[in-house]
Structure 1
C-alpha cells in the first residue's frame, strides 16, 4: 500500500502540475486543466486549486491570461528575443548600442539631481552622497513589444571644468559621444544579476507574476579605468536572453 500523501491539497495540485510541465505532459504555451476539472480530480474547492496555481505562478511555471485560462511555461525553452549587449562604434566614429534597436522614450527624459547611494558610489569610486545628474526613461522598441527601464547617472565631479559643469550632459547613449568629445577614449563594463521586480517595475514592464528582472549595471570608463558614468537597465527576465561577444 503506497504511503498516504500528507501534504496540503493545494501543494499536491502544484506538484502534480509542476511534474507535468517539466516532463512535457503540458507543453509550454498549452492550457492547463481547468480549475473545475482539477477541483473534481483532487476533491477540493476551486479556491484550493487557485492556491496551487498561485504557487506555480510565483515560480514562473504558469501564466494566467484573463478570459483564456492558465498556460504552461517551460523553464527549458529558448527565449523569443536575443539581445546583443555592449556598445559599438559606428562608421562615423560615434557610439551606439550593440543591439541595433531604435529605442523610443515614453516621455522626454529630464535631468534631476540625486545623491549617490553607497552601492553606486562604490562602482563610480566617488564618496557616498556626491550629487549626480540622473535621467529616468521607460523605453520601447519593436512597436512596443520590447520594453526596458533605463537610468543614467553622471557624477558632478566628472563634469568639473567642462562645458557641462552648469548644464546637464545628455543621457546615454548620446552621453558617450559627449564624453568622447571631452577627450575621453571610452570602454565599458557590465554587471548582471536577476531579482524580482518592485510593483511599479512589474507594471511598467508588463511582467506576469513570478517573472524576474534582468538587472544590468553598465559603467563607462576612461582608457585608464576611471569611471565616468553609470547606467541601470531593468529588462524582462522571461522571454529575453542576453548575448555577449567575447
Structure 2
C-alpha cells in the first residue's frame, strides 16, 4: 500500500479554515484574522497563508476586499460585480457591449495571420488550418480596476470578394459595423465555461493562485446562421457573475 504524502502547509491551512467556516467558527460576513495573525498562528510565512486563502477564494468561501481585509462569504451572497452579456446596436449604427462599460486597449491591437485550430474551426464551420486574421487585446475599464483579455478571429474565406480581401478588417467591436456594411444582418451566440488560467493569463488578469477565470466564446453569425467571426474573452472568475436576457 503506497504511503500518502503529507499535504502542503497551505492546503492544511485552507482545510482548517474551511472547517471553521463551515462549522460557524468564522460566521458569514465576518472578517477572517489577518494574514500576519494567521502566519503566526500556523507558524508559516505570509505567502503560504495567501496561497491557502486563494484556495478558499476559488471555492467561493472567502472574498478579499481591497483595504478592508478578508471576509467569510455566505453561500447565498451575491458577487460584487454583475456583467450583463450581449451586444446591442445603437441608433447611429454602432454596436456596443450590453455591460455599458468603456473598454480601453492597453496597446493598439495588430492583425496577425493564424491558422484555425480544430476546436475553433468547428465553431466557425471552416476547414482546420484555414488562415484567419487574429487580434489580441488586454482591455481595462473603470480606471484599470476591471480587466479582460479579448481575442478576435476572422476567417479569410468570410472576406473573399470584399474590400477586406486585400486589407485586414478592424477588430471587434468595430468589426461588427464593418460586417454590417458588407450587407450582413448580425446576431450572436456565446459559449461560457470556467477553467484555470495559464500563467500569462493569470498575470495579465492579476489573478491570485487558485482562482479560475471565465472563458467566453462569442460567435458572430449572419441572418442565415453562417459564422462570420469568433471572439474569445477571458475574465476573472473570483467575484463576478454574468447575466443574460432570455
Relative to the length of structure 1, the TM-score reads: 0.84
| Alignment length (residue pairs) | 233
- Which sections of structure 1, spanning at least 5 residues, go unmatched? 1-6, 40-44
Q: 2:55 — aligned with what?
A: 58
Q: 2:41 — aligned with what?
A: 38
Q: How does 1:1-246 map to 2 (within 5 A)?
A: 10=9, 13-24=13-24, 25=26, 27=28, 30-32=31-33, 34-35=37-38, 37-39=40-42, 45-46=43-44, 54-59=51-56, 60=58, 61=61, 71-72=70-71, 74=73, 76=75, 77-246=77-246
Alpha-carbon contact 1:28-1:71 (below 8 Å) kept: no
Q: Using a 3 Å threshold, how does the CA distance of structure 1 residues 207 and 183 change in structure 2: closer, same or farther? A: same
Q: Using a 3 Å threshold, how does the CA distance of structure 1 residues 53 and 106 change in structure 2: closer, same or farther? A: closer
Deviation at residue 23 of structure 1 after TM alignment: 4.6
SS in 2 for 1:154: strand
Aligned mates of 2:156, 2:218 — CA distance in 1: 18
Alpha-carbon contact 2:63-2:73 (below 8 Å) kept: no
Alpha-carbon contact 2:28-2:73 (below 8 Å) kept: yes
Deviation at residue 36 of structure 1 after TM alignment: 5.0
Q: CA RMSD in A?
A: 2.8
Relative to the length of structure 2, the TM-score reads: 0.84
Report the more deviating stretch, 87-96 or 163-172: 87-96
Q: 1:42 — aligned with what?
A: none
SS in 2 for 1:164: helix
Structure 1 runs (4+) greater than 4 angstroms displaced: 7-13, 26-29, 49-53, 61-65
Aligned mates of 1:54, 1:184 — CA distance in 2: 49
Q: Which whole-Å deviations, capped at 9, do the CAs of 1:173-205 have from their partners, x for residues lacking one?
A: 100000000000000000000000011111101
Aligned mates of 1:81, 1:191 — CA distance in 2: 20
SS in 2 for 1:109: coil
Q: Name the larger-Rg structure.
A: 1
Q: 1:4 — aligned with what?
A: none
Deviation at residue 21 of structure 1 after TM alignment: 2.5
- Which sections of structure 2, spanning at least 5 residues, go unmatched? 1-5
